[in-house]
Structure 1
Amino acid sequence: MIKRLKYHEIDFEKYNYCLENSVQKKFYAERLFLDISTDKNWELLIYKDYEAMMPIPFVKKFAVKIVHNPKLCQQLGIFSNTDSREINDLFYNYLTKNFIIRYYTFNDINSFSKVLLTRKNFLIFPDKYEIVRQRYSPKRKRKLRLDQEVLDNSEIIKNFDLQTIKEFIRSTGLGADAKDMEQFIDLLSKFFLNDKLDFYGFFYHQKLINMIAVYREDYSLALLGTYNDREFVKLSGSSYLIDKVISENIETKIFDFEGSEIPAIEEFFRGFRPELRPYPCIQINKKDLLKRIVKKTLFLN
């Protein structure tokens, strides 16, 4: 009942139709996003004739395919016009029996008979901006009231010089080693050059001090990165940038904060009063993963 397709076997006309008409529609499953983020290293599981489908990204280790969500890809899972626990269970069982999994995420609509590990995400759904802003926490509202001196000497610039953008990410990015940093920069640059990503910079006295990276689809925006010069953190430029993007788009688009398991970042996101939307995932530790790879390698030999 579940069929596995390699990339070159996918009927993308049917794929796009299923995704566009799905109740779980997420930009992470758009073909362009997956092609760039995985370098086309993904397959597809389908139910019947694309009545439901499940993208499967992978990396190769020791000639073995390992399922692993690519960088910046938060949620995938099953897409269909009605979310069915029974059908989702079929996909889950096929996935766990036929693939070696390191980390795979379903989407926040998918439900299962089995209790799965969940992670946090935060969304603001379309509404009038005035109503959305009224919900902000008192602290966030205070942060958005910039001093007159700051207002007089600052400006927001969208999609400025890409080289400047890259250097700012390198100088302010936290929590990533040099190799990971360059991979993130490469991905963001490719999204930008394919007209799917916007960079918003907060310039104070003509100096770039805050920047956000926002992925753009017709129905959704996602905060893929926030970068801050720590010397100017008290000016709250990032809050100002996020609020600007929300104010310009929230009547017609979902704003996706991309979630975080880091308390300080979660607190920052919660200041905008988004809705908590947890999503299920499968995560296998490195020790168990290695055992499965060894077993698979022995079987292949």
Structure 2
Amino acid sequence: MIRRLKYNEIDFKKYTECLENSEQRKYSATKDFLDVTSGKNWEILVYGDYEAIMPIAFERKFGCIKLVINPKLCQQLGIFSKTDVTEINDAFLSFFEAKYNIWYYAFNDVNKFSKNLKERKNFLIYPADYNEVRQKYSPKRKRKLRLDAEILQNSEVREVTMNEAIDFISQNTIGAKDEEDKKEFLQTFSDFEKAQHLKLTAFFYHKTIINIIAVYSDEKALALLGTFNAKEHIKLSGSSVIIDHIISENIHNKIFDFEGSDVPAIEEFFRGFRPELQMYPTILNSKKQILKKIFKF
């Protein structure tokens, strides 16, 4: 019942219909998102006539070895179906582990399996009235949002283009391995902008950008892709103001996805907005485990 389809074999109309009507729907499994983040290096497992689907992104190493790994900025993939069914998920998992060399793969927070998989954290705010959402913010976050008169008089929050933001983002990117990694990161942002899915919102202080928040946007969700701050102005809480601004304009009909973090300070920052914690299952194999499977020793 489960088939493996390469990219050029996918019926994207059926794929999209299954995804958009699924219980587990994630923006990161859409064709637009995966085409950009994986460079179209993805394929799917499909159950029946697209009753359930599982997108799988990969990289090729040494020219011929295909390794499964979630692309950069792609937190969750997994199995998508009208109703999450453990037995069907188990069948996908068994096929997946038998047929692929898995480096790292993250299922979504709705997927359930008979066997235990290691889980990671994510934080979400679901659509609701903005005033109700803001009322739940932590006392500390509410204080951060109360700007003094001088800052209010000399600041502005507005959307900017990638062309306006690229220098600031480049100078304040944290976590890139090297310049090539940073270049790929910036190119991904540019590609999202061309596809009309990137929103960059900046906090200006005395007409100078001191914070930028990047989000991926579609008709159902907003996902935090990056937070960029000028270190000398970190105490002004511009990032908190921007996120609150984005939430105020969108939370009535869109999920706000913080995208989780394994860094305690970032997790604490997210928790200040009182999002819901959602755990999602993952598979992570070491290089030794992958080589052992490939060469069967």
Give TM class, smaller chain. Answer: over 0.9
Post-superposition Cα deviations, 1:8-39, rounded to whole Å, max 9, x if no partner, equal: 10011110110111000000011111111111
What's the counterpart of residue 96 of structure 2?
Answer: 95
What's the counterpart of residue 170 of structure 2?
Answer: 170
Letter aligned with residue 59 of structure 2: V
Partner secondary structure for residue 3 of structure 2: strand
What's the counterpart of residue 104 of structure 1?
Answer: 105
What's the counterpart of residue 11 of structure 1?
Answer: 11
Letter aligned with residue 130 of structure 2: Y
Q: Distance between the aligned counterparts of 2:133 and 2:273, measured in 1?
A: 8
Displacement after TM superposition at 1:163 (Å): 3.2
Does structure 1 residue 57 correspond to structure 2 residue 37? no
Does structure 1 residue 28 correspond to structure 2 residue 28? yes
Please give the TM-score of this superposition, normalised by the length of structure 1. 0.96
What's the counterpart of residue 217 of structure 2?
Answer: 216
What's the counterpart of residue 194 of structure 2?
Answer: 193
Partner secondary structure for residue 120 of structure 1: strand
Letter aligned with residue 290 of structure 2: L
Q: Distance between the aligned counterparts of 1:249 and 1:157, measured in 2?
A: 14
Does structure 1 residue 284 correspond to structure 2 residue 277? no
Unpaired segments ≥5 residues, structure 1: none
Letter aligned with residue 163 of structure 2: Q
Does structure 1 residue 245 correspond to structure 2 residue 252? no
Displacement after TM superposition at 1:217 (Å): 1.1
Displacement after TM superposition at 1:181 (Å): 1.4
Letter aligned with residue 26 of structure 1: K
Q: Distance between the aligned counterparts of 1:292 and 1:115, measured in 2?
A: 21
Q: Distance between the aligned counterparts of 1:255 and 1:89, measured in 2?
A: 29
Letter aligned with residue 36 of structure 2: I
Displacement after TM superposition at 1:116 (Å): 0.2
Partner secondary structure for residue 240 of structure 1: helix
Partner secondary structure for residue 109 of structure 1: coil
Letter aligned with residue 244 of structure 1: H
Q: Distance between the aligned counterparts of 2:108 and 2:45, measured in 1?
A: 15
Q: Distance between the aligned counterparts of 1:142 and 1:108, measured in 2?
A: 32
Q: Distance between the aligned counterparts of 2:93 and 2:189, measured in 1?
A: 31
Q: Distance between the aligned counterparts of 1:175 and 1:14, measured in 2?
A: 37
Post-superposition Cα deviations, 1:133-186, rounded to whole Å, max 9, x if no partner, equal: 0000000000000111011001112023x2342211111111212222111111
Query: Which deviates more from structure 2 when the two are superposed, residues 206-215 or residues 163-172?
Result: 163-172
Please show how residues 77-88 of structure 1 align to structure 2 within 5 Å. Answer: 77-88=78-89
What's the counterpart of residue 38 of structure 1?
Answer: 38
Query: Which deviates more from structure 2 when the two are superposed, residues 182-191 or residues 83-92?
Result: 182-191
Partner secondary structure for residue 203 of structure 1: strand
Q: Distance between the aligned counterparts of 1:237 and 1:251, measured in 2?
A: 23
Please give the TM-score of this superposition, normalised by the length of structure 2. 0.97
Post-superposition Cα deviations, 1:248-300, rounded to whole Å, max 9, x if no partner, equal: 0101111000000110000000000000001001011223223334x17x9xx
Post-superposition Cα deviations, 1:190-249, rounded to whole Å, max 9, x if no partner, equal: 101110010001010111100000111111111110000000000000000000000001
Q: Which consecutive aligned stretches of 4+ in structure 1 deviate over 4 angstroms post-superposition?
A: none
Q: Distance between the aligned counterparts of 1:181 and 1:286, measured in 2?
A: 24
Q: Distance between the aligned counterparts of 1:206 and 1:130, measured in 2?
A: 29
Letter aligned with residue 286 of structure 2: N
Percent sequence identity over aligned pairs: 58
Partner secondary structure for residue 121 of structure 1: strand
